[in-house]
Amino acid sequence: MNASRSAPGSQTSLREANRARVLGVVRQHGPLTQVEIAAASGLSAATVSNMVRELDQAGMVGLSRSIRNGRRAVLVSLASGGGLLAGVAFGERDVRVAIADESREILAQQSMPLQADHAADDGMERVARLLADLSETVSSGVEEIAAIGFGLPTPVDSVSHQAGSDAVLPGWRGVNVAEAMTGYLRAPVALDNTANLAALGELRNGALQGVQNGCYLKFSYGVGAGIVLNGEIFRGSAGTAGEIGHVTIDENGPICRCGNRGCLDTFVGSRALISSLAASHGPLRLKDIVHRALADDVGCRRAIEDAGRRVGVAVAGLVNLLNPEVIVVGGLLAEAGDLVLLPLREALDRCAIPSAAATVELRPAALGDEADVLGAIHLASLLSHSHATQSLVN
């Protein structure tokens, strides 16, 4: 590759910018026709045609015949990174792993329970074991895994690439997962928060498809949010955007595990819900509360409805700030359906600016507990294509 850079404003510089724009559109949206690329990129049809021809000759995109709107069409897709893709999503009590082919179609998946306070080494060792087992089920080996998307339900610092905090998954605190995983598997790793990955999964394959400004609300053992701005996941300056569970809703409330007082999680997290029912119901698991509420247990219904209202108050603040088109609600508590969605909607309407509340649609998640795994696979696909593109350019 030529070490000198093209002068800004030159024809070469403009051509490079146009190529990058075409690649960016295809990377974001998947296989598209040239007409669709032109519409999404703002480039002229002639420019797109020239760029696609150059990229095809360079081996950076592939062309395939298909049917669009009942007519024959040629789809432009990124050049294959080769190999399998792996998605890893840790929950509060388990880890789920999937292997997909180059088109992001899941070939095999499996889950394994974990202790809530497990160490990072234990988690990564189990991931390596699961991936080895899954590779065998698809008649491959772990050496054929081209990239791994890796999700943790904890803040992920995009600057240091370290995961965890002293309060949330402390066993992962300060671990650079991408570096550490090379001790188990020789494949590049992209790390993100599981709420972001779930938002990415719903954005590409689920209830957020076509949404430019939206949010995925993960309502489970705790509360987290994946934010979509201009059709992309918004992670903030250091990767910690969307920590809605640690928004203070009562400055005189209980001490949160993060060290602050009155965070949303202290009122609607699993510990709070289980504790509120302990005197009347004895020891319960979070999923027991959901199942009993759906079976019309009065106490469990009340606990979930109250949680929905409190989350709605916090979501109203998000609606006032970002004015999203759609909010998708997923996670274990979302399985309670209208028991949680209706009070959430009522609180949102009561507390948000009326014009903002009137324009936001509340939707249940479409992908269930597969959203974050699918998002992790999509992240792995982006990483694989990025490595393939770099190797072609170099």
Q: Identify the structural domains of the chain with CATH numbers, from first to last.
A: 11-78 (1.10.10.10), 84-198+374-393 (3.30.420.40), 208-365 (3.30.420.40)
Q: Which pLDDT score is estimated for 198?
A: 96
State how far the Cα of 324 lies from the Cα of 318, in Å rounded to an integer: 8
Q: Which pLDDT score is estimated for 296?
A: 95
Give the global pTM: 0.80
pLDDT tens digits for range 16-45:
788 888 887 887 777 889 998 999 889 999
Per-residue pLDDT of the chain (394 residues; tens, 9 = 90+): 343 444 455 677 788 788 888 887 887 777 889 998 999 889 999 999 998 888 887 777 778 887 766 778 888 877 655 578 999 999 878 899 999 987 788 889 999 988 877 888 999 999 999 999 998 888 778 888 989 999 998 888 878 878 867 777 888 888 888 888 877 888 899 999 999 999 999 999 999 999 999 999 999 988 999 999 999 999 998 888 999 999 998 999 999 988 899 999 999 999 999 999 999 999 999 999 999 999 999 999 999 999 999 999 999 999 999 999 999 999 999 999 999 999 999 999 999 999 999 999 999 999 988 999 999 999 998 888 776 555 544 4
Mean pLDDT score of the chain, rounded to an integer? 87
Q: Which pLDDT score is estimated for 263?
A: 94
Instruction: Please provide the size of the chain in residues.
Output: 394
State how far the Cα of 325 lies from the Cα of 322, in Å rounded to an integer: 9
CB atoms within 10 A of CB 304: 25
Q: Which pLDDT score is estimated for 4?
A: 40
CB atoms within 10 A of CB 145: 23
State how far the Cα of 23 lies from the Cα of 234, in Å rounded to an integer: 20
Q: Which pLDDT score is estimated for 80?
A: 58
Q: Which pLDDT score is estimated for 141?
A: 81
Are 232 and 218 contacting, i.e. CB atoms less than 8 angstroms apart?
Answer: no
Q: Which pLDDT score is estimated for 387?
A: 63
Q: CB burial class (10 A; 0-12, 13-18, 19+) of residue 349?
A: middle
Strands 61-68 and 94-100: unpaired
Spatial CB neighbours of 135, under 8 Å, sequence gap ≥ 6: 84, 99, 141, 142, 144, 145
